[in-house]
Amino acid sequence: MKPEVLKSAFDLAEIRAQFPILKELVHGKPLVYFDNAATSQKPRRVIKAESAYYATINANVHRGVHTLSTKATEAQEAAREIIRKHINAKHAHEVVFTSGTTASLNLAAFSLGQLLLKKGDEVLISGMEHHANIVPWQMACERHGAKLKVIPITDSGEWDLSIANSLISDSASCKILAISQVSNTLGTINPVKELIAEAKTRGIITVVDGAQAIAHLDVDVQDLGCDLYAFSGHKAYGPTGTGVLYGREELLERMPPWQGGGEMIDVVTFEKTTYAKLPFKFEAGTPHIAGIIGLGEAIRWMEDYDKAAMAQHEHALLEHATKELLTIDGLRIIGTAKEKVGVISFVVEGVHHYDLGTLLDQQGIAVRTGHHCTQPLMARFGVSGTTRASFACFNTMEEVDAMVAATKKAVKMLR
């Protein structure tokens, strides 16, 4: 487990002051940003870290002996070590940089498919997965003749664990379990550790989509016991175009690379290529160096604060928003799991989610509308899409009240 460290007190005003964008106006109204599940905002020090790379270092990594290249390499590898510690990986070379969760999961699906899957094998996912944790596995199954199996979702937006366990224990053909730790649409915190433990007794490789967990939960990959763990930087106060695929050393060593080119090679001849050591075997081409440095700074920024206090604040926002939104006639919340992060999806009878989102934007409130890249989940609940408000540590109760008031006003206009 991670060692105890001294954390700064949770001062909401002080935290808000670190986010320049919160001073912006939208349609002449103060910005209320409730689209953090799509992309979180960035504190000033993350923005400065990324900018400083271009202003003072700007050179490629691992490919030069000159001073700037050395500094760039040291800065990138320092970020890798920051991330290793944050997720409690054993080794820095178990942290592979990608462009985001989608790229990480595509890497996992392609490489594990090549390594493990054959005709008749099964890949198990859940009914609440993001398209990025559905489509790559469908493609892998199509390539290798495997089958995709799905854990059903209850009316409250949780896994049906009895069926999940039976899908694992009753099949000798299941080779891969790929599941989200937190639902991007429902906010449900899933019991991934329990399901991983069951899968491990059957020798099943486990992959966790941690895109929505990394900014809200204390992620410890060794405690979870997963084989692979994917997340994005831009959902954790870091830059867009950055991501991580953690993998157990023994598994990464066995997995074939999914892209070829520079950096990921050892020796290239026209007859044969040998690959570089971990993690570079999976890092073909020039990485988003500035973004990786910014991601390291974002992780350091989060670690400066008490994660439990942040989570408690976000949960209070969720409870308040839930209570107040349910006073609106005809409003229904999609996803009522007992354990949730600060995400609330809802529909209003007689009101299209797109129209509602447009009118909220006119009042300065940024929410997400649509299917949230979870079309099968929308079909499960019989809706075409929802309005989704997702909270971050910098949001306030007053902003929640503004959203509720704006929603009431919009619903009155649209009915």
DSSP codes of every residue in 27-39: TTEE-EE-BTTT-
Task: Choose, from 141, 174, 226, 373, the residue flagged as catalytic.
Answer: 373
* pLDDT of amino acid 170: 85
Cis, peptide link before residue 279, omega less than 30° from 0? yes
* pLDDT of amino acid 65: 86
294 with 233: CB under 8 angstroms?
yes
| Separation of alpha carbons 23 and 115, rounded Å | 50
* pLDDT of amino acid 364: 98
Q: How far is CA 94 from CA 84, 213, 254, 255, 360, in A?
A: 8, 19, 13, 12, 43
Q: Decide if 141 is catalytic.
A: no
| Separation of alpha carbons 254 and 259, rounded Å | 15
Q: 338 exposed, middle or buried (CB, 10 Å; 0-12, 13-18, 19+)?
A: exposed
Closest by CA to 300, choosing from 292, 308, 312, 311, is 292
* pLDDT of amino acid 2: 46
**Mean pLDDT value across the chain:** 96
| Separation of alpha carbons 385 and 346, rounded Å | 9
* pLDDT of amino acid 403: 98
* pLDDT of amino acid 7: 59
* pLDDT of amino acid 1: 42
Residues of the chain with pLDDT under 50: 1-6
Give 62-79 pLDDT, tens digit per residue: 877 899 999 999 999 999
Question: Phi and psi at residue 297, in whole multiples of 5°?
Answer: -70, -35
The encoded tokens of residue 68 equal 């700037």
Four-point Cα dihedral 293, 297, 299, 304, nearest 10: 160
* pLDDT of amino acid 3: 44
* pLDDT of amino acid 8: 65
Give 161-188 pLDDT, tens digit per residue: 999 999 998 888 999 999 999 999 999 9
What is the pTM (predicted TM-score) of this model?
A: 0.96
Name, in order, each residue with C-beta under 8 angstroms of 357's C-beta and a sequence gap of 6 or more.
367, 368, 369, 387
| Separation of alpha carbons 54 and 89, rounded Å | 29
